[in-house]
Structures are given as structure tokens and as C-alpha cells.
Structure 1
Amino acid sequence: MPLYIRFVAVFIVIFHLIFLVESSESILIEFCNTLLSLCDMSGALPLTINSLKHKTGFNMATDGMTVYIACSQCHSIYPLETSQRVYTFKKFSQSAICNNNLFKVSTGNYSLPAMIYPFNSEVRLATKILQARFHVQDQFRMIQIWRECNYIIEKNQLTMQELANGIVVPCGYARITKKIADGFSFMKADEWKSWCVIYSPFVLKHVLPAKNLENWILFVDACRLLTKPSINDKEIDEAHSKLQLFCTRFQTLYGKSAVTPNMHLHLHLGECVHDFGPIYAFWLFSFKRYNGLLKNIETNQKGGFESTMMKRFLERTYIGSFIQSFVNHLPQFAIDFLHRISNSQDQLAALHPSSTASTFSLSDFVEYSLNPCHSALGCELLPPSVFPIKLDQRITMCKGHYECLLEFYRHAYGSHDLFGHYSNCESNQIFVNNRIEKMKRISLLGQEYSSGSYFRTYYLENNSEDKAAFPGRILYLFQHLITINETVITHTFAFVEWYSSYSLGSYQPMLNEGIELWNEPSSVLNYECIIPVHRLYSPIAIAKYRFTITSEFKRLVTPLPQKIEA
């Protein structure tokens, strides 16, 4: 098949899968065939989408799928070619035969199965993982109880919503823009998660009595620990103790009748984590999200929606590999175009790992963000999933920011004389140019950062070996190149502003709720405004707030767990 015809064929298959319904593919194929006929290449393409999939090899995505006839009552399955008309399965030896009809009543020689079961071994393996559910029912039950106690009333909900709208929630956490004011109606699971670990400690501060709030924070603290992507034995035991204390005090505060079975199940979460690893690895969020994706699949093909959903699922999963199979037959710009229209760019790193993938050390990278004594220069290897990085055009740094960058190099490399200013660099110095390439965003092991993102980073406290987390805001992300010993070295940095410590020192009025109090950001420019992206520990939720009308605005910081998605 000639190059251009191969490209057209692959494009039609992908375009049909992503954008078209079944009735439209014939029009597209006819158009392309007509276009090719004008170039004296009539009949170059098959006339049906199935033939085109077979010709391009895309049918391999669904070749492993088998369809069975299934019973809606006893769930037994039979091959499509079975001669049986009713189900003969017995659930137990003493049970009666199911005797459910295999086929719908039909006319003619064709009988339509009453129910089908599409099966694929890869999908079966993917869905065989144990799933855990975040206990959203208990959270909704708590709202109901607080309403019954008149702690939450309609007026409170409006105030709570106003406070919630002032919280800046990082990427990866659901925002609750109006559902609190609407009485927590139609909240999704990820919104309940955000409500629990981010919103509730802040907005309930002046709504619940002290004892009730203190008890709720036990549940919040346990959830913050258990929803971490990585967790140790000490944290598991701490979470279990908090849940146990929460359940005990809950019964005291609200009575035995308010206790639900799920509260008993909380006490088994520790065992589940010990047995299966972090809840983050086996909860239902990704499973439920896939249900949403499946629900949006067009199912107007012949043969039943079950088979259509299975086929579409397999085809969309396979599409990145399918495009890459033509990498030696199509030019790179065509491959990039096909990835772009199919939104399969994220699969590129997995399909073609970079040359640094084999030398990248996950433990070292995590150590840079966790241990301030493990210094990073900014040129260390980044996770392979970061690439390719989309960079803007090279620009010139402003004078003040350049001075910060130059001072950073001198401090990080431990030599003031080694690096020279671009305007008067001597021959024995390393030239530090003032040109940088900004990037809009970067994803570090599942944590998304961009201009304006809030984060925290660990540093050693003054005159101490104790480490402490300091919050800041990213003004922009950028890469900078310097040449050392004739080798061009790429550094990846964030230019940040830091929030200064609260003036009253250790006084933290919301520390029990897991919320830290900080002053407004400092305007001081120095080398500490430049940090390697390796040092970014985790995102934070932040809110601007003042305790009285006459007091100054402060920043309320809610630390969030670090993600490690290797």
C-alpha cells in the first residue's frame, strides 16, 4: 500500500473511532475514494470500515474478544452457537434448574439472545483488582446529623459556600463551587473526598461545637493518612487509632442509633492496607471514572450495546500502539498528527521510553523533595513520564530574576567565582546567559504544577537539623542551559514567591484542624526564589482569610499528601 494511501486509511480508522457514529463512516470513505479517483487511484480503499480495520491491522484490538449468551438470573454463560433454548444451571445441588429462556421470542430462522456477555482476558485482568470505596455515605450521614442538631442550617450553608469558594484547590482535587449551598446535593465521590480533607476543617470551624468539630477532625486526619499514595506501618496504626476514637466519641455525642455499619468497617481499613497496600491503589475512583467513559460511548451499532462498549474500550486502549506500529512506514509529523487527533500523546512515553528511563532513580528523585540535606542542582534526571516537555520560545529574563538565577548557581555549586555574569564574563568562568525557555506545566510523578500553583518544600530550620515545610507559589516554570566543560547541561527550575512565617511565631489557631497560618508572600528577591523542580514536595490548598474585620489578611494552608505515581 503506497505511503499516502496508508496514511489516509489509518486516519479514517482513527477519525471514525473518535468522532463519527456508525452511519457516517461510509460517507467519509466514499469522499476519500472520490478524492483518490481524481488522482487516478480509484478503488484504493475498501468500502466498509470493518474491511479498512482489517487492512490496517486495527482489528487486532478486538480479535481476542469472545461473546457468550448469559442468564440475567443465575449468570451462567453459554457459547453463541449453543443448541440449548433454556438455562439448565443449578446454583446449589438442591436448587431447581434455572429454566430461564436463552433467546428472545423471534420470527424467522434467527433468534436473538436475551442477554450477552462479552469477554476479553485483558479486560478481565484489569478489573480483577480489589476495589475499595471511600465512605461517602458516612459523610452524608454526618451532614444529616448536623442538620438534625441544627448545627447546619440554610443560612450556614451559604456562609460555608462563600468560605469554600475562597479556597484554591490544586489540580487533581475536585472543586465544590455551589453544592454546599445547595445542601450537599448530588455530590460525587471525589467531591466528598475534597470536602473531607480540604474544605470541611476550614468551613466547619465556626459551625460545629468544639467537641463535635474535634471528633470530626479525627475522621479527617485518618482520611488524610489513608488516602496517601504511600503509607507506612506507623501511619496505618495512627489512622486506625483515630478512626477507633472517632467511632467511640461519635456514639457518645450522637447516640447508638446514629452509628452505621460503615463505621464498623472503618476499623478494618488498617487490615486492608496491610494486606493490599495503600487505599490509593485499589479504591473505586478510577473504576467509577471508567464507568463514565463507557457510558459516553455511542452504542448504535448492530449486535447489542455490550459488544459495542467492549469493542470501543479495546480499540481506544489499543489506539496508541496502533499508531506507533506505523512509525517506520509514515513520517514523524504524520505520526504526531495521528496521536494528536486521537489524544493518545500520553501513551508515547510508555511506548517509547526515553534513553534516561533506565538510569532514572525513583528513590533519589523522591529523596530530593523529602530530604533538604539531599541537595538538587536542577540538572538531575527527571521522571521519564515528564517527557516530552513543551517549551515556549526562548525569552530574556528580567534583570532582577537573572540576578537570582546567577546567585543560585554560585550558591548551589559552592563557588562565587566559577560563574560569570553575561555582561562581563571572564574567560575562566562559566557563562550564565540570561535566556530561558518557559513551560506552562510539568507533571512530576502524578503531581501537576503550572504557573500560579501553590506548593510546599522542605528546608532545614534556622540553626537546627529539624526540617520544616514552607509554602510558596510558582510564578513560572522554566529551563535554562549552561555549558560546563563543553557539555550543555539543562536545568529545570521554578521561580517562586515564599509565604513568610506568621509573626506570632508558634501561635497557630487552626493547627488542630490541620491548617497552618502564614503571612502574605514576601517581595524579597534572592537566590531562594529559584528552586529545582525536584524540590517540589506536594501541592497545597490555600485560602486568603482574616479572623476579624480589622485584622490583616493571612494565608491558610492545608498540606496535602505527596503523590508518587511511578
Structure 2
Amino acid sequence: MDNGRLMKDKQKLIPTVGHGACLILPGGRNILGGSLFTQFLNADENTANSSSDSEDDQQTSPTFEADCFEVSLDSTQPSPMTCPPTVPCLPEHNEVLTASENESSAAESVVRGALITVSCDIPAARKVSQFLGHKANKGCSRCEFEGERENPRDVTSRMSYFTVVEIVPRLNDTVRSQAVEFLGATNATEVKKIQKKNGVRWSQLLKLTYFDIVTMTMVDPMHTVFLGMIRHETDLIFQDPLFCKESQRVFSSRLKCLRVPYDVGRLPSSLGEKLEFSNLTADQWKNFALIYAKPCLWDLLPPDSYESICMLCDIVQLIVQPSLTDADISRLDYLLKSHHRYFENIYGRFQVSVNYHVALHIPDMIRDFGPPHAFWYFSFERMNGVLSGLPNSNRYVELELFTKFLQDIDIESVLPHDPLVTSWPHLDDILPVAREMSSSVIHPSLLNIRVKSMFATSTQDMYDLQLSIDKGDTNMFGFEWKVEYLPPTRLDLQVTKDFYLKLLCFYEHLYEGNSITVIPRIDKHARCSVNGLSLTSDLHSSDRSSRVKAYFAVVDSEPGYPYFGIVRFFFKSLVIIKGNSFNPTETTKSHDLAYVQWFQFYNGSDDPFFQITDEFYDGDEIISPRRLVSRCVLLKAYSNSPYKFVVEFPA
């Protein structure tokens, strides 16, 4: 999909590494854009303040210092009668950030910055952008929806954000007018009345004339979905009296049997026994939804409850994708709305917290700013973890950590060394070179999506496509399709007679009509990196990544059908293709191949999972590793089950 309709409408957006972006304005000036991540701390306890404000709460106000573009916190509620502090330096204010080696140096570097998004959890986002918290009547920063209080006379009572009416979005111009109205209040009573009516106060970000405070104040999927919806619904499941001790025992057994690859985050081993989920990180909740929830809870819940958690798992599956099409976004929107209604029907309207409402806005944010990877909170929390590990005196923590952080940065590497250099090269001169360098390289996750889509949805010459990939003819796809073998490796091995006959049959089918000679020696490899996946085999000490999925064309004009197997080993093989009357040249060609045995299906249905047996099909054991599109794990639902579930891992 494109990089977002908002930036496409207002200015050209060219994404770069991380959360920054280069904006090319109509005037031709290059501007560094970035996201503002904040975390509000309790001044006494130095812990995250997750409490939410109502109309009467007094909250801290972020202020910005123009000379260093840093965030500081006032200790008092901003008064609408006082002059607001300075604003960030931005192009329209004709201000610049300067940096030099020392005070006497005359060489300065001009850096222009633009704030693209405010990405925080809900309490922090409300404090930065000055929308009222989710206990207020208008608790959403993106629409005019008003929550329903369980007890209208008690402002601390539970609120329902069950959304059945059509969402009316807030408008930037309207919010700005309401903020100016708040700023013009002359007494405390009027202030309280205005903010209760509009659900918004004055924010210093409104002094940035380009800043759309509604659209650019983000809903963070990490807090909203992973730490909010998934955690809440899981707690409700395990608190249900219908989830008895026998169900807990089966759940714990399945959890332990899921031997996931080492590069996939694992859950604590004692999790199933204690059902204690309070200490799970956002990444663990994400993995719980992607991998563990569906197979471990199957047949242990009422059908409605299981259907609800499966919908939520499908939502997470879409949110974590590095690339989303318009069809993906439409499906995400449908799943969010369906789950919203389904969840309320099962657990009641007052279990529908603000997270379930604001999540309905995620599809619109993806249309504006791209996939959630571009704006979610993981990178900020990861940096928090890095900084928290730095030594400090526990007295001036922020100052000491920031000083240490600056000491570790090589500022010389990002500044011009030549004092005569007064400007950076224009992006138009750099981007064509960057595009040319990256045209033949594709990100592993995007490669995996493209390959899966090619095998699963293509309906044209599917059988010929398989043959071309097995031959190694991959230039047709327009990108570099590497197969990288990893140790341990055993070179120049003599093959057995049975394996040689299988290899000969494979090549005769591959080069039908040609006279060939198969070299009876191969190089064996235990591991392989292909399609954005790290795969292992029986030759490796760990077989956790040896169960794989591939598509086979049954009919040439239909998409491929998935099969699941276990990789015995990877190998390179040579074949001599002798000439014919049309091409008399004799060639020796090397092939990247894998020896895979394919499990027989128990019933061939994928509802709720594909079910397989321990028996193998005969034939098609030799295949190009480029056709292996995902890793899987096998799980027995019960100890006496005649079949196993296939649980597929995301890339």
C-alpha cells in the first residue's frame, strides 16, 4: 500500500530507517520528521502513571523548549489565562537547531524538524494532546463518541464504550476552535464547563499550524491490543467458572507441548499451571495470540468464547504484518467491528473498555500512516530497557542517563566534517541511487508475504511456476531470491542407491525431454535461511524449525494446496544437461534442494486447524527450499488423539 493518504495529500513522504521520515515540501526544503514518544511518571514513585483523568482532574502539561527540542513537565495545571510557553522549532517559525564542536566554532549544521505523530499509551497521549481521559464523557481523542457510565452519579464507576452507532470523527479545525474557547475562559467554573462539553483543553501542539492534533495523535496498538484487549479477554476466560481444573490441566499440557523455535518468544513454563498472566510483556501477549491461544484453548471453552478469542487472534495476525493491502485493511476493519459486537454479547456492555473502542480507529490510522510497525510503542519501550540498565545514583536519574546516552553517541559521524559544507545534498540526488541499490533486495518479511501470496493465490500456470522454481530460474520475479546454507555442513558425500533413484526421478521430471546425467555426490547442510525464515533439519541438534509448509499445484489453473512436512536435510546437487538438436551445448547446473517427507492428512480440513497423522505420503520428497513458505509445530489436542494439529508460525 502507499505510505499514507494524509502525508500523500499534504506533502510527499519518503520513509527512512526507524520512526523518522524525510518530508519534501513544495518549496524543495528537506525536513526531518519524527514521532514523539512519551511516558509520564509519578514524581514520587518514579513509576508509570496509568491513571486516567476525568473532567475534574488536574494533570501535568507538556511544554517544549525551542532551543533544544526537549519535553519538560510543568508541576501545575496550565491556566487558560496565562501565556503558553515556547513551541518546537519548526520550518514555518524560521528557527533552526544548531550544533558545533565547541562554543567558539563558527561551523553550524542546520537541522529542520517536523512532528509527524504523537505515539503514546492512552493516558500519556491525553496529557500530551490535552484531550480528556477515558473517564470523561467524551473519552476518545479521534471521535465524538460518549461512553456510558454504569452509575451516572459516580464519576469513578465503570464505563461502557460499546459502539453501536456510526462513529462521528473529530475534526482538527473543530478541536482547535474548542481549545481556543478553553483558553479564553475567565474563571475556573467556565473552564470546567467548557472542557466537560468539548472533552479537550489547550495543548501547545496546537501552535504548530501544520499539526492535525486528531489524526496525528495515535492509538498505540501495543498498549491497546496486546496489553489491553488480549490480556483483558484472557483474564475473563480464566476467571469463568466453566474453565475447570481439568480444562486448566489440558491447557497447561498443550502449552508445554508447543516446542516453538528458539527465535520465537516463548511463554514461561509455569504459566499454564498457575494461570498467572500479570507479568507477561507485550511481546509475549502478541505471541500468545499468534501461536498459543487457538490450539491451547480449542475445545476447552464455550463455542462463543472460543470464536471471540479466535477473532482477536486474527486481528493480531493482521496488525503485525509489515505490509498491508487495501483488502487486508478492510478485513481488519470488519474483524474489529465483529469482535466488538461479539465480545459485548458474551461478557456484557460494561466489560467493553476504552481499548475496544479506540481499536476501531486502527484501520484509519493504517490508511494514514502505514502498517503499525511505523508508529507502535515497541521501539520506545526497548530504548527504555536500554536506558534502565545504565548505572545511576538514583538521585538525578534523567540527567545522568541522558548524559551517558550522549557520551555513547558519535556525534562526529552525523555532522559534516568539512567546515565549508553548509548544506546537505538534496534528497532528489540521493534517492535514485538508493532505489537502484535496493531494487534487487527485498526485506525478509516482505519476501515471505510475497512468496506466500504467489503460491496461495496465483491461478496462472501454477504447475509451470513450481517447475521454474525447482530449476532455480528465479530471475522472473524481479528480486534477489537467495538460499543461504548454514553450518553444520558435510561436503561431497556419496548418496545411497535409493536416494539416487529419487534424485534421478526428480531431474527427469524437471528436465523432461532432455538427456541428463546426475552426479551421485551432494553437499549436505543442516540449516538454511530462505524466504525470511531460518529453517533447520534432522541433521541439526534442534529440530524445532524443521516442520514446514509448502504449496503444491493439483490443477494448473487453481491456487496451490498446502502440505506439511519435516525437513530431513538440505543439499546442493549437480546435474549435467546434455545438448539436443535445438541447443547442442552441454551444461552443468547446480540446484539448491531440500529432502522433505510430507505428512498424510487426517481429514484434509482446516477447521479449526489442519489435522495430520504420523504417516508420510510417497513422492515429491525433493523440492526447492524456496517453496518452503512457513514453519509449523505439531500438537496433539489430547494424549489419545489419532491426529495432530498443525500450528503455523508467522514469519
Length-normalised TM-score, structure 2: 0.53
Q: Paired residue for 1:529, among 589, 611, 621? A: 621
- Whole-angstrom distance in 2 between the partners of 1:228 and 1:169: 20
- Whole-angstrom distance in 2 between the partners of 1:147 and 1:407: 54
Cα separation, partners in 2 of 1:132 and 1:210, compared to 1, 3 Å:
closer
- Structure 1 residue 217, shift from structure 2 partner: 1.9
Q: Note the 1:316-327 alignment, pairs <5 A.
A: none
* 2:522 aligned with 1:435: yes
- Structure 1 residue 297, shift from structure 2 partner: 4.9
* 2:407 aligned with 1:305: no
Partner AA of 2:594 in structure 1: A
Deviations 1:313-334, CA, capped at 9 Å, x for gaps? x469989xxxxxxxxxxxxxxx
Q: Paired residue for 1:253, among 343, 346, 368? A: 346
State the partner residue of 2:502. 404
State the partner residue of 1:500. 600
State the partner residue of 2:265. 174
Secondary structure in 2 matching 1:184 = coil
State the partner residue of 2:535. 449
Q: Which has the higher helix share?
A: 1
Cα separation, partners in 2 of 1:304 and 1:127, compared to 1, 3 Å:
farther
- Structure 1 residue 197, shift from structure 2 partner: 2.5
State the partner residue of 2:646. 557
Which one is further off, 145-154 or 176-185? 145-154
Partner AA of 2:503 in structure 1: L
- Whole-angstrom distance in 1 between the partners of 2:277 and 2:412: 35
State the partner residue of 1:491. 591
* 2:284 aligned with 1:191: yes
State the partner residue of 2:34. none
Partner AA of 2:472 in structure 1: C
Deviations 1:258-313, CA, capped at 9 Å, x for gaps? 1111111221122222223333454334443344344445679998221322443x
Secondary structure in 1 matching 2:504 = helix
- Structure 1 residue 498, shift from structure 2 partner: 0.7
- Whole-angstrom distance in 2 between the partners of 1:141 and 1:317: 47
- Whole-angstrom distance in 2 between the partners of 1:255 and 1:523: 49
- Whole-angstrom distance in 1 between the partners of 2:341 and 2:317: 20
State the partner residue of 1:42. none
Partner AA of 2:631 in structure 1: P
State the partner residue of 2:635. 543
Q: Paired residue for 2:565, among 464, 472, 477? A: 472
Q: CA-atom RMSD, angstroms?
A: 4.5
Q: Paired residue for 1:160, among 244, 251, 258? A: 251
State the partner residue of 1:330. none
Cα separation, partners in 2 of 1:357 and 1:256, compared to 1, 3 Å:
closer
Cα separation, partners in 2 of 1:302 and 1:255, compared to 1, 3 Å:
closer
Partner AA of 1:498 in structure 2: W
Length-normalised TM-score, structure 1: 0.61
CA contact (8 A) 2:255 2:296 kept: yes
Q: Which runs of 5+ in 2 are unaligned?
A: 1-42, 44-59, 69-73, 87-108, 120-217, 415-433, 538-542, 578-584
- Whole-angstrom distance in 1 between the partners of 2:450 and 2:320: 23
CA contact (8 A) 2:226 2:286 kept: no
CA contact (8 A) 1:479 1:492 kept: yes
Q: Paired residue for 1:267, among 350, 360, 366? A: 360
Deviations 1:121-176, CA, capped at 9 Å, x for gaps? 79999998876424322222123323443234566434312111112334653222
Partner AA of 1:559 in structure 2: E
Secondary structure in 1 matching 2:271 = coil
CA contact (8 A) 2:451 2:629 kept: no
Aligned residues: percent identity?
Answer: 20
Cα separation, partners in 2 of 1:293 and 1:459, compared to 1, 3 Å:
farther
Secondary structure in 2 matching 1:500 = strand
Which one is further off, 248-257 or 226-235? 226-235
- Whole-angstrom distance in 2 between the partners of 1:380 and 1:168: 35
CA contact (8 A) 1:518 1:556 kept: yes
State the partner residue of 1:517. 611
- Whole-angstrom distance in 1 between the partners of 2:499 and 2:388: 49
State the partner residue of 1:104. none
Cα separation, partners in 2 of 1:304 and 1:280, compared to 1, 3 Å:
closer
CA contact (8 A) 1:299 1:305 kept: yes
- Whole-angstrom distance in 2 between the partners of 1:317 and 1:368: 46
State the partner residue of 1:336. none
- Structure 1 residue 204, shift from structure 2 partner: 1.7
State the partner residue of 2:320. 227
Secondary structure in 1 matching 2:611 = strand
CA contact (8 A) 2:495 2:522 kept: no
Deviations 1:34-89, CA, capped at 9 Å, x for gaps? xxxxxxxxxxxxxxxxxxxxxxxxxxxxxxxxxxxxx9975444769xxxxxx9x9
Partner AA of 2:534 in structure 1: E
State the partner residue of 2:306. 213
Cα separation, partners in 2 of 1:239 and 1:367, compared to 1, 3 Å:
closer
CA contact (8 A) 1:169 1:542 kept: no
CA contact (8 A) 1:378 1:534 kept: no
Cα separation, partners in 2 of 1:281 and 1:389, compared to 1, 3 Å:
farther
* 2:332 aligned with 1:236: no
Deviations 1:401-446, CA, capped at 9 Å, x for gaps? 333233222222224x52224xxxxxxxxxx24221415231433x
Q: Paired residue for 1:292, among 385, 396, 409? A: 385
- Whole-angstrom distance in 1 between the partners of 2:373 and 2:284: 16
* 2:241 aligned with 1:145: no
Q: Note the 1:318-337 alignment, pairs <5 A.
A: none
Q: Which runs of 5+ in 1 are unaligned?
A: 1-70, 81-86, 100-118, 320-352, 422-431
- Whole-angstrom distance in 1 between the partners of 2:607 and 2:557: 25
- Whole-angstrom distance in 2 between the partners of 1:227 and 1:521: 34
Cα separation, partners in 2 of 1:542 and 1:277, compared to 1, 3 Å:
farther
State the partner residue of 1:324. none
CA contact (8 A) 2:455 2:559 kept: no
- Structure 1 residue 356, shift from structure 2 partner: 10
- Structure 1 residue 516, shift from structure 2 partner: 1.5
